[in-house]
Amino acid sequence: MGYTAVHAGWGRLDASLDDLGCGRSWADVRRVKGLELACPECRGRVFAHVSPHRAGHFYHQVRPRDCELANESPEHHLLKPEPATAARAAGFRCELEVGNEARTWRADVLVFDPQDRPFMALEAQLSPMTPQDARTRTDRYAADGVAVCWVAVEKRPWERGVPSLRVAPPGTAGTRGRCVMAWRATPGQRHAR
């Protein structure tokens, strides 16, 4: 399941936005017969759905084994909108599930600068990753002039080697169902650009 889909006429749809990022409403895409939506990664057919937690998302008609968006964990799926919400609250435009043209990376959240250029990726990282993997993946973003900040919910071995945030998961005592972010990067870390 993912937060984005592609429509031939409307372009890219983002379930984390009230107007889906294309001036449409959820009623325009949910349970509409004949509506053709595709996954932005694998191009498989997807449908709009609302979870029991009232979160809109897109699910594959047939779940492909090789599509990362179709095979994300529920925890990862629920964490992704939190950095987007924080970036938007700070006045930035951002998009979920955006990759570069070379397909060497796909950001969970891609944040754009005031000139509408991508400048930072916010990555929800819940699965294990070595410090070297973190550095390699960070360097892939840097090659395109994009900084990255890795977001985790528990202490990770890579968090002092790359820009990172540790967050309290939604529903943790005192968070009122929202994700709480706390900066965990080391002083003097440099960002791309």
31 and 53 assigned to the same domain:
yes
Residue 18 burial (C-beta neighbours within 10 Å; 0-12, 13-18, 19+): exposed
Q: Which helix (H) or strand (E) holds 124?
A: strand 118-124
For residue 49, the one-letter residue type is: H
pLDDT tens for the chain, residues 1 to 193: 789 999 999 999 999 898 999 999 988 999 888 899 999 989 999 999 987 777 788 989 888 888 888 878 778 878 888 899 989 999 999 999 999 999 899 999 999 999 999 999 999 998 889 999 999 999 999 999 999 999 988 888 988 899 988 887 665 555 444 444 433 333 333 333 3
Number of residues in the chain: 193
Q: Which helix (H) or strand (E) holds 32?
A: none
146 and 118 assigned to the same domain:
yes
192 within some domain: no
122 within some domain: yes
pLDDT of residue 54: 75
Phi, psi at residue 136, to the nearest 5°? -60, -45
Domain carrying residue 98: 74-183
104 and 32 assigned to the same domain:
no
For β-strands 37-38 and 93-99, DSSP reports them as unpaired
135 within some domain: yes
In this structure, the number of other CB atoms found within 10 A of the CB of residue 182 comes to 8
**Helices (H) then strands (E): counts for the chain:** 3, 11
In this structure, the number of other CB atoms found within 10 A of the CB of residue 97 comes to 24
190 within some domain: no
Collapsing DSSP to helix, strand or coil, 45 comes out as strand
Count of domains forming the chain:
2
Collapsing DSSP to helix, strand or coil, 66 comes out as coil
66 within some domain: no
Strand partners, 99: 106
191 within some domain: no
Q: What is the pTM of this model?
A: 0.78
